[in-house]
């Protein structure tokens, strides 16, 4: 089955700096790569996603890049703000989503004032 590795597990950055979280996956047939943000005591919320036919996607301060050859994708957050503090999960869909997304173990992003 699919194996998803997410790094780092904790990331602390100064407010206004950029944050980068990286995930690697094992199944070269994987075709969909979403990122979720989870605030304390809440369910994850989809913040951005990318499909395998695209190399980069941007939405205001967040962007995702995909390297299919190396089988990794990254979340980039620029000009970080206190409300960006949360746990971020990457996920991979290996084929039609029949058995659910496979998630990374999460990154706790801490924005230092």
- Give the residues lining the site for another protein (CB under 8 A): 6, 9, 32, 34, 36, 41-46, 49, 89, 93, 96-101, 103-106
Tokens representing 49 are: 């996603």
We find the least distance from the C-beta atom of residue 91 to another protein, in angstroms, to be 8
We find the least distance from the C-beta atom of residue 110 to another protein, in angstroms, to be 16
Closer residue to another protein, CB minimum distance, 17 or 46? 46
We find the least distance from the C-beta atom of residue 88 to another protein, in angstroms, to be 11
Q: Are strands 32-38 and 45-51 parallel, antiparallel or unpaired?
A: antiparallel
- Cα 40 from Cα 25, distance rounded (Å): 26
Closer residue to another protein, CB minimum distance, 74 or 94? 94
Closer residue to another protein, CB minimum distance, 14 or 28? 28
For the chain, where are the E strands, in sequence order? 4-7, 10-14, 19-25, 32-38, 45-51, 56-59, 62-67, 72-77, 86-92, 102-103, 107-112
We find the least distance from the C-beta atom of residue 97 to another protein, in angstroms, to be 5
């Amino acid at each position: 089955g699919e194996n998803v590795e997410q790094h780092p597990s904790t990331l602390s950055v100064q407010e206004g700096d950029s944050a980068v979280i990286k995930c690697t996956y094992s199944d070269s047939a994987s075709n969909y790569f979403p990122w979720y943000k989870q605030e304390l005591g809440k369910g994850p919320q989809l913040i951005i996603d990318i499909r395998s036919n695209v190399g980069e996607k941007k939405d205001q301060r967040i962007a995702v890049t995909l390297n299919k050859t190396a089988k990794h994708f990254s979340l980039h957050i620029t000009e970080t703000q206190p409300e960006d503090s949360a746990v971020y999960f990457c996920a991979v869909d290996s084929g039609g989503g029949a058995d659910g997304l496979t998630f990374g173990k999460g990154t706790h992003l801490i924005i230092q004032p």
